Structure 1
Amino acid sequence: MTMAIDLKGGAAPATLNERLLKRHDRRERTALSLLTAPGALLILVVLILPIGWLFWLSFFDASGEPTLANYARMLRPVYVKTFISTFQVAGLVTAACVLLGYPVAYLLSQLSERTAGILMIFVILPFWTSVLVRTYAWLVILQRTGLINTWLTGAGIIEEPMPLVHNLLGTVIGMVHVMLPFLILPLYASMRAIDPVLMRAAANCGATPAQAFRQVFLPLSLPGLAAGIGLVFVLCLGFFVTPALLGGGRVAMWAMQIADNIAVYGNWGAASALGVVLLAVTALILVVLRRIFKVDTFGGAR
């Protein structure tokens, strides 16, 4: 009997503590829910609802009748050509940003924080100017009577001006200038977080500088590289201003096709279908990038 009383007496405080802990957990979850509610509401209003509205409109024609014609027209040659051109430009710009941005980020990561901070000003300097202004600046530089062609013809290097604008080359040059900081910044942050002791340890184990870079530094920088590639590629898919001005109508992007469907034809259903397809393909690309790099596209290693 005494043992039972002791057991009951010992069990009561434990049960009370469990109740208090559960009550504390409920209060904490409620407080966290209230704190995150404004952000969740903002995401719902500015992201989820517009995407849902876009998806809904894609199943209606200009007269408001339900139809699948908006998706069937994706098989037309003009849409297929625009789709291929969009991913071609995005791929070229992303590749150029990787080739130019990785050495720059690596150089900055090897410098002192003071020197790297000063040089980083030149990386973020383009953000202080509008994309439209930068695009017009490239138009002045690259056109047939621009600075480059004028200097080359004046120096006798070329006889006739080169076609540097109103084509794919001019579009890629302008977009690389806009997109390059989006690759350098996450890549630099990832490289800066790599412990220099690891490179010295690889050297002590007999690795050459090239082997240490390839086997130690490069794999550790992949999270930043994946984040930069994801940002650049996704942003390029929705680019409008630079291809419209520097492409001269010869470089058709998916965003330009969406704008034409709304501004010229007033067909919101067709434009919405284009947007839905672009969103789905973008999500698929992010999944592929995650599998290729074995990291979260916008985060760290898995």
Structure 2
Amino acid sequence: MKGPGFFEADGRQMSKGAILLLMGPFFLLVFVAFLYPLGNLLSISVLEPTPTLANYERVFDNPIYATVLLRTFRIALLVSILSLVLSLPVAVLMANSRGPKAVLITACILLPFWSSVLVRTAAWAILLQRNGMVNGFLQAIGLTSEPLRLLYTQGAVVVAMTHVLMPFMVLPIYGALRNIPPAYNRAAAICGAGPLRTFWEVTLPLAMPGIIGGFILVFLTALGYFITPSLLGSPQEMMIATLISQQMRENLDWPFAAALVGVLTLIVTVITLIFSKVFQFDRMMGGRA
């Protein structure tokens, strides 16, 4: 008996040639817009003009670059955890809402996509400056007697990145919650489980694919984030993307910048493979073992 294949609307199975023809433009776009430029850039890191690994040795020999890498991972992890904590209640509310309420919540989540990251980051810079709204509010309620240094700090970077990346956490969790049959919650209630226990033992495990998917998406995106750390962070607390830009634009050291890109790409690939192996996404999403 043949396994499941790719079917047309009338139920007939498409040939492998037709599938390749349909997927061809996508693979061509990935090659032209991503694989070829990345491969060309990585080749610069080992050819100057003879083959060498000196640029990669610089990455690990100098403790400054290791510190930047560790800081990047710490900030990305903080942003991912904070996004998850803030996004889970919003996603649950979206999944349980209907009518105008659901439309309003969805609009609030999708509204940030209508403006650029640069605009949202600039808005945070205005809010967090010494004479901004946040400092004004803290002084008005008596928590501080003078303006605090909120801008150009790691906290400002974490808060702004969380705001920018939260939709990428909310939407996967919302999709997973919407796919849970309502009968499961009713069955748990019939068995005597309260709302909290039902959420913890029924809803949360079934929503885990969306939670893990959103967490990985936010974490990997935060690793290579550039605009927000550049505008809101300080030079003493730069992230890896800012360091790469500095090596390219200010130092004109393209081979070393390419080596940094290579290290970051390798780390992201390893993390993705580990997550895929540990959490077994094919089973979680209903695939075959």
Change (3 A) 1:296 1:83: farther
- Correspondence for 2:31: 44
What code does the residue aligned with 1:194 have? I
The question of whether the paired residues in 2 share the 8 Å contact of 1:167 and 1:250 is answered with: no
Shift of residue 292, structure 1, vs aligned partner: 4.4
Match of 1:199 in 2: 185
What pairs with 1:254-265 in structure 2 (closer than 5 Å)?
Answer: 254-265=240-251
- Give % identity: 38
AA of the residue aligned to 2:55: N
Residues 259 and 296 (structure 1), Cα distance of their counterparts in 2 relative to 1, 3 Å cut: farther
Moved more, 129-138 or 27-36: 27-36
Name 2:59's counterpart in structure 1: 74
> Which residue does the alignment assign to 1:17?
none
Q: Any residues of structure 2 matched to 1:141-180 within 5 Å, and which? A: 141-180=127-166
Instruction: Please give the per-residue CA displacement for 1:178-228, whole angstroms capped at 9, x wherever unaligned.
Output: 000110011111111111110111122232322221111101101111111
1:114 Cα deviation from its structure 2 partner: 4.4
1:249 to partner: Cα distance: 2.1
- What is the Cα-based RMSD across aligned positions, in Å? 2.2
In the alignment, does 2:46 pair up with 1:59? yes
Instruction: Read off the aligned partner of 2:187 and give its amino acid letter.
Output: A
* 2:5 match: none
Which moved further from structure 2: 109-118 or 227-236? Answer: 109-118
Task: Flag the 1:68–1:254 CA change in 2: closer, same or farther, 3 A.
Answer: same
SS of residue paired to 1:166: coil
Q: Say whether the 8 Å CA contact 1:223–1:296 is kept in structure 2.
A: no
Determine the C-alpha separation between the residues in 2 that align with 1:132 and 1:35: 35
Q: Which moved more, 1:279-288 or 1:122-131?
A: 279-288
C-alpha distance in structure 2 between counterparts of 1:78 and 1:228, whole Å: 31
Partner of 1:20: none
Does the CA-based 8 Å contact 1:70-1:270 persist in structure 2?
Answer: yes
1:257 alignment partner AA: L
Per-residue deviation, 1:58: 1.7
Long gaps (5+) in structure 2: 1-11
Tell which deviates more after alignment, 31-40 or 230-239. 31-40
Q: Within 2, Cα distance between the matches of 1:296 and 1:160?
A: 54
TM-score by length of 2: 0.88
Is 2:206 the counterpart of 1:220? yes
Asked if 2 retains the 8 angstrom alpha-carbon contact of 1:223 and 1:301, the reply is no
Q: AA paired with 1:178?
A: V
For residues 227 and 211 of structure 2, the distance between their equivalents in structure 1, rounded to whole angstroms, comes to: 26
Q: Does 1:125 align with 2:111?
A: yes
- For residue 57 of structure 1, what is the amino acid of its counterpart? I
Confirm or deny: 8 A CA contact 1:135 1:174 kept in the other structure: yes
Q: Greater CA deviation, 146-155 or 98-107?
A: 146-155
Which residue matches 1:30? 17
Give aligned pairs, total: 275
Greater shift after overlay, 110-119 or 170-179? 110-119
After TM superposition, the structure 1 stretch with the greater mean CA deviation from structure 2, 95-104 or 127-136, is 127-136
Match of 1:106 in 2: 92
Q: TM-score, normalised by structure 1?
A: 0.85
Mapped partners of 1:29, 1:119: distance in 2: 42
CA distance in 2, matches of 1:94, 1:143: 25
Pair 1:281 & 2:267 matched: yes
Superposition deviation, residue 152 in structure 1: 2.3
**1: CA distance, partners of 2:184 / 2:35:** 44
Q: Which runs of 5+ in 1 are unaligned?
A: 1-24
1:187 and 2:170 equivalent? no
2:17 maps to a residue whose letter is T
Matched with 2:257 is 271
Larger radius of gyration: 1
SS at match of 1:58: helix
